[in-house]
Amino acid sequence: MDKLPDPKSDQKRESVQTPQARVRDSLYKHYKARGRKKYNLWLVYSPKLNRDIIIDSDKQLIYWLHFLESDPTVESFLLHDKQNRADPDFFVTFRGGERRADFLQLPPESNLKPSVTYFDNKVWENRFIQEDELIKTSQQAQRWLKPIMFAAAIREQQLLPLHNTLIIAEHKYKSGILADLLAESSGHDSMKVLGMVMRHFTEGRILLELSNATFGNNTPWKISTGERHENSD
């Protein structure tokens, strides 16, 4: 006679979720929470957080691309679990130590906009971002989806030889276009080179210019003034 399954072992398996399962469950909860509201949910990889996140709307997607991932002064951020409409949407930490609470819509009392928010025993300067500001930046913001895609392809991969090759090339040229870095890294997979370029941008080593064109061979880059000079062995 076959043994009956042990309920405790089933519970143990359920409690040990893979990252993919946790993201799937979180996406399902977001989907249920939106009720009858019709807006898109985006499951995206964040290079700055080095993990998948769920973006609740197209408006949030544009904000995330323009004000967070593509801003070289931003070090990290937190998607806030809003309890009411007056709460911030994001908490942003900058490389210089500044902290900001970003609102993607005005609070109900739009004529009473507080200057700071108190959260996690810290003071955060408030910024209220209007929808027309997001519309103006939407085209440029969407250009960052491509380099983020390359960064996602090498997630969890150290690729130290490629990293060091790019460090040497960046210090050799100081500035230029991506074609220069690809040529100097010709011994490596070009897709991984582009992913590492985005990783170096995220780490604050280089700056990328996507205000006038999409990410590609002719994309301008330059060494960041705050760039770190150490190599990895």
> Which strand ranges, in their side-by-side order, compose the sheet holding 116-119?
74-79, 90-94, 99-103, 122-128, 116-119
Dump pLDDT digits (tens) for 113-145: 789 999 999 999 999 998 999 999 999 999 999
Kindly state whether residue 175 falls inside one of the protein's structural domains.
Answer: yes
- The gap between the terminal CA atoms of the chain, to the nearest Å, is 58
The domain containing residue 85 runs over which residues? 38-138
Q: What is the pLDDT of residue 204?
A: 95
Task: State whether 112 and 173 are in the same domain.
Answer: no
**Domain boundary pick from 101, 118, 138:** 138
Alpha helices in the chain (DSSP H): 7-15, 19-33, 58-63, 131-142, 145-153, 160-173, 178-184, 190-202
Pairing mode of beta strands 74-79, 90-94: antiparallel
Global pTM value: 0.81
Q: What is the pLDDT of residue 35?
A: 52
Q: What is the pLDDT of residue 4?
A: 47
Dump pLDDT digits (tens) for 203-230: 999 999 999 999 999 999 999 986 554 4
Instruction: Label residue 86 by pLDDT band (50, 70, 90).
Output: confident
Q: What is the pLDDT of residue 7?
A: 45
Radius of gyration for the alpha carbons in the chain, expressed in angstroms and rounded: 21
**Domain boundary pick from 138, 156, 173:** 138
Q: What is the pLDDT of residue 1?
A: 45
Instruction: Label residue 233 by pLDDT band (50, 70, 90).
Output: very low
Task: State the Cα–Cα distance between residues 210 and 66, nearest whole angstrom.
Answer: 11
Q: What is the pLDDT of residue 212?
A: 93
Kindly state whether residue 23 falls inside one of the protein's structural domains.
Answer: no
